[in-house]
């Protein structure tokens, strides 16, 4: 059970479904809101994208306010009422499907699961997946049998939410199997048809957030022989603007929306990106040092704090630009070595496999064989 609010929750669910399918285990993904009303689902998703892109500070303040509240599930509140209303609509579907395990990739989906457990509709084991490097608001309002987190470093945050350690599975956020292995950098560059030299990957989300053109201007002024792979996502306007700069032709290679991020990461020495939960998990799995910028206030701020506080990334700001960050990393090898050391500790390329091993054993135990 998932919720379409951005890209990550569904992608996490799909990664698990694909891995289970390879083992002959049937599974399906149910968008909690889409099942109730497709228009409601679309409205929520568009509202999330609109607010995070156009009013990020407002979104961040709302997130921070919710994060400070600790609301037990049984308290009478609007969010609890909504989850109960949605639960009634889903009861027949879940009863007919009769799953051996139910997984939730969003706190709201897990609130619905919790309510259905309390009412006796659900009797099978339940697993919640926290899809960022922080613990979002409302997880304290859930009661799952297990919780998958990005790392054991988040155990204290989970404790503050009232979730006991024995329920926590710090396997890492499930990601596509493409990130399970890493091909040699030279081979990856050859497959992309690019030069074999210092390579920077610039990715700012599927919608191409931030002033990418401004960042490229700063990067190209650094006296380092390098090339930049710039992924513009679905932002066709910014791709055309960057392509129009003839003087960048040799250094800047642009892409639109891509499905080979794994190869681009293998080809790169460093990534410049906004810290979405899924992107963060993927770059860590690929052991790729990061320069973080333009986080959406809220969960991405927390993702950035996690990476920087644990030595796996540098953050670029208005007063410490991306050019300064690149200069530090590629003019002073010890800085790059420190980042790589932390990234190698935090990366969990086998996160999906580890979770599916656990789920398979859980099913076998339940069935008594």
Stronger pLDDT, 29 or 233, i.e. the higher one: 29
Give the mean pLDDT of the chain. 84
Tell me the pLDDT tens digit for each residue of 258-311: 999 999 999 999 999 999 899 999 999 999 999 999 888 878 899 999 999 999
CATH domain 8-177+350-367 topology: Rossmann fold (3.40.50)
Query: Do you know the residue count of the chain?
Result: 369
> Is 235 a residue whose pLDDT tops 90?
no
Q: Is the pLDDT of residue 82 over 80?
A: no
On the question of pLDDT at 173 being above 70, the answer is yes
Residues of the chain with CATH 3.40.50.2000: 181-346
Q: Which of 139, 145, 144, 149 is nearest to 170 (CA)?
A: 149
pLDDT exceeds 80 at position 155: yes
CA angle 260, 106, 176 (to 5 degrees): 20
Flag whether pLDDT at 105 surpasses 80. yes
The pLDDT, as a whole number, for residue 267 is: 97
DSSP codes of every residue in 235-274: -HHHHHHHHT-GGGTTTEEEESS-S-HHHHHHH-SEEEE-
8 Å CB contact between 269 and 199 = yes
Would you say 152 and 130 are in contact if contact means Cβ atoms under 8 Å apart?
Answer: no
- How many CA atoms lie within 13 Å of 368's alpha carbon, on the beta-carbon side? 0
Give the pLDDT score at 50.
Answer: 45
Mean pLDDT of 222-236: 86
Provide the sign of the torsion angle of the four alpha carbons 196, 199, 204, 208, taken in this order: negative
| pLDDT > 50? residue 228 | yes
- Across 220-236, average pLDDT: 86
**Angle separating helix axes 277-285 and 8-22, nearest 10 degrees:** 50
pLDDT digits (tens, 9 = 90+) for 328-358: 999 999 999 999 999 999 999 999 999 999 9
Backbone angles phi, psi at 276, to 5 degrees: -65, 155
Please check the confidence at residue 7 and state whether its pLDDT lies above 90: no
Instruction: Place 129 in a pLDDT band, splitting at 50, 70 and 90.
Output: very high
Region of 233 (left: φ > 0; alpha: ψ -120 to 50; beta: rest) is left
Q: What is the average per-residue pLDDT within 123-131?
A: 96
Percentage, residues of the chain above pLDDT 70: 81
Sign of the torsion formed by the C-alpha atoms of 184, 185, 186 and 187: positive
Domain 181-346 in CATH: superfamily?
Answer: Glycogen Phosphorylase B; (3.40.50.2000)
Terminal alpha carbon distance of the chain:
26
pLDDT at 120 over 70: yes
Please count the other Cβ atoms lying within 10 Å of the Cβ belonging to residue 313: 30
Across 309-314, average pLDDT: 96
């Amino acid at each position: 059970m998932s919720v379409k609010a951005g890209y990550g929750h569904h992608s996490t669910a799909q990664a698990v479904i694909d891995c289970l399918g390879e083992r002959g285990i049937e599974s399906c993904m149910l968008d909690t809101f889409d099942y109730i009303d497709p228009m409601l689902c679309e409205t929520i998703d568009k509202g999330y994208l609109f607010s995070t892109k156009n009013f990020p500070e407002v979104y961040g303040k709302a997130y921070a306010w919710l994060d400070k509240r600790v609301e037990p599930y049984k308290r009478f509140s609007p969010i609890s009422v909504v989850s109960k209303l949605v639960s009634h609509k889903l009861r027949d579907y879940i009863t007919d499907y009769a799953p051996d395990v139910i997984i939730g990739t969003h706190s709201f989906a897990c609130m619905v699961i919790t309510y259905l457990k309390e009412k006796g509709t659900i009797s099978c084991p339940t697993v919640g997946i926290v899809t960022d490097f922080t613990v979002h608001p409302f997880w304290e309002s859930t009661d799952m049998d297990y919780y998958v987190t990005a790392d054991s470093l988040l155990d204290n945050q989970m404790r503050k939410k009232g979730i006991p350690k024995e329920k926590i599975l710090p396997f890492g956020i499930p990601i596509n199997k493409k990130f399970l292995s890493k091909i040699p950098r030279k081979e990856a560059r050859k497959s992309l048809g690019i030069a074999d030299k210092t390579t920077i990957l610039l990715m700012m989300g599927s919608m191409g957030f931030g002033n990418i053109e401004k960042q490229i201007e700063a990067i190209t002024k650094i006296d380092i022989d390098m090339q930049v792979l710039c992924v513009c996502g679905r932002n066709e306007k910014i791709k055309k603007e960057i392509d129009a700069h003839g003087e960048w032709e040799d250094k800047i290679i642009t892409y639109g929306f891509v499905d080979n991020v794994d190869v681009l990461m293998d080809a790169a020495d460093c990534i410049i990106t906004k810290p979405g939960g899924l992107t963060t998990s993927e770059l860590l799995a690929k052991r790729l040092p990061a320069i973080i910028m333009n986080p959406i206030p809220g969960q991405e701020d927390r993702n950035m704090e996690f990476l920087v506080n644990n030595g796996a990334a540098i953050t670029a700001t208005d007063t410490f630009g991306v050019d300064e960050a690149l200069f530090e990393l590629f003019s002073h090898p010890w800085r790059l070595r420190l980042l790589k050391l932390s990234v190698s500790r935090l990366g969990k390329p086998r996160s999906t496999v580890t979770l599916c091993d656990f789920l398979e054993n859980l099913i076998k135990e339940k069935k008594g064989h």
